[in-house]
Amino acid sequence: MTAIGVSGVSGVLGLRPQAARAANAPAYNPGGQYDVSVSEVEFRRNAAGRMLMARIYQPKGSGPFPTVLDLHGGAWNNKDRHAEEPMDRAIAASGVLVVAVDLTLASEAPYPGSVQDANYAVRWLKLNAPKWNGSPSNIGVYGSSSGGHVAELLALRPHDERYSAIPLPQAPEVDASVAYVATRSPISNTFARFENAERRNREEMVKFNKIYFNPWETIHEANPQEILDRHEHVSLVPLLIMQGALDDNVLPEVQEKFAATYKAAGGTCEFHVFEDSPHEWVAKEGPQTDKARAMVKAFIARQLQA
């Protein structure tokens, strides 16, 4: 795990990921085939009074299995734990415990509400993964669209006191650090996406930004691209970005710039553009969706085997 300080000089926080994975990573074959059982448990009740749920995709086998946390998209204002069910099932069927959680919606609490949920979810999962035959070591994250934005913030700032504000009394010593992040169409530059929405007269996209980023200045404070541009002290875990070439929601050139900035800062970023694919191409079956599923599984395997 690489840390970048305000000077932009790289340093190391604890074990390098390669050493940690070699010591603790569970075995994983991305070509594995398992039956999957699906169950749900209560995750946490948010400040608005809604019980957030966790959906558990558990491979049927001896394990322990690698563990991945799924953070849903929905422009911070919509959707829930079911949003990426086909991807979650595909990953789980290869021998990964996948846990998809509800995130607080912007109408319930603005930023950093959903990031606090995600931070808590990592700690909660490190404590509870063994219940579902998952390994608490080397937990990864999969995030889509706004869930990808939350995943990037979670990984960049695992020890941010604002994000870790929700206590986990059963394991107060557990932190929210993760081993890797895989994303599909992540909002890696929040302000660039807002400007794109304004140019295209996407009134709902504009409105959703203003609900979530309240006060408005947080659209810059919580912008992964600007965080790197400011040379903040961050953690840089291996990152996968899958981007649709036809995406007019999160523009490919904006995503490409973020990937380049991440690598220039010292991180490992695999950036892949999917031809003839819009923002949410994985919602439909087809060759490009199959390719995305295979890419995520191969990425997970590389992180666990390095």
Q: Which domain does 24 fall in, by range?
A: 2-305
Residue 111 neighbours by CB under 8 Å, 6+ apart: 76, 212, 213, 214, 218, 222
Average pLDDT over residues 266-279: 98
Give the lowest-confidence range in 5-9, 202-206, 224-228, 247-251.
5-9
pLDDT in tens, 44-94: 999 999 999 999 999 999 899 999 999 999 999 999 999 999 999 999 999
Sheet of strand 180-184, all strands in order from the earlier edge strand to the far edge: 36-45, 51-59, 97-101, 67-71, 140-144, 180-184, 239-244, 269-274
Model confidence at 26, pLDDT cuts 50, 70, 90, reads confident
pLDDT in tens, 121-159: 999 999 999 999 999 999 999 999 999 999 999 999 999
CATH number for the domain spanning 200: value is 3.40.50.1820
Average pLDDT over residues 297-303: 98
How many domains, in total, are found in the chain?
1
